[in-house]
Amino acid sequence: MVSMMKNIEFTRVLNLKEQISYQEGQVISRTIAQVPAVNITLFSLDAGEGISTHTTAGDAMVQVLDGEAEITIGEEVLTVREGETVIMPSDVPHSLEARQRFKMLLTVVKKPVE
C-alpha cells in the first residue's frame, strides 16, 4: 500500500502547530500531501516575512495555527489570526505577510484537468 501522506506521523494524535518550527528571517514549508488533485502543506513564517503575489490552479484554504498575518486576495486585504480560516479562489492573485510569527496549514484543491 502506497501512502499519500508524508513528513508526518501516522496513527497518532498530533498538534499541527507543533509539527513545524520557526526559523529567524525565514519562510519554512513542510509538505504533508502532494497528489494531482490536492496539496497540503504546513508553513511557518517569521514576523515580517511573506509569500509574494501569485495565483493557484485551485481553491486554497488557509487554516491559521498560530500568530497573525495579512492576506491580500485580489483587491481585498484580510487580517487572520489563530483559529481562523480563509478561502482563496483559484486564479485570483493573492499574497501573505506575517504581522507576527505565523503558522498555517494550506490546502489547495486543484481543478480537474479536462
Residue 1 has pLDDT above 90, yes or no: no
Q: How many helices (H) and strands (E) does the chain have?
A: 0, 9
4's CB contacts (< 8 A; 6+ apart) are 33, 35
Please state the length of the chain.
114
pLDDT tens column, 48-99: 999 999 999 899 999 999 999 999 999 999 999 999 999 999 999 999 999 9
Query: pTM of the full predicted structure?
Result: 0.93
Residue 102 has pLDDT above 80, yes or no: yes
Given this model, what pLDDT does residue 113 score?
72
User: What CATH fold (topology level) applies to the domain 16-110?
Assistant: Jelly Rolls (2.60.120)
Given this model, what pLDDT does residue 106 score?
98
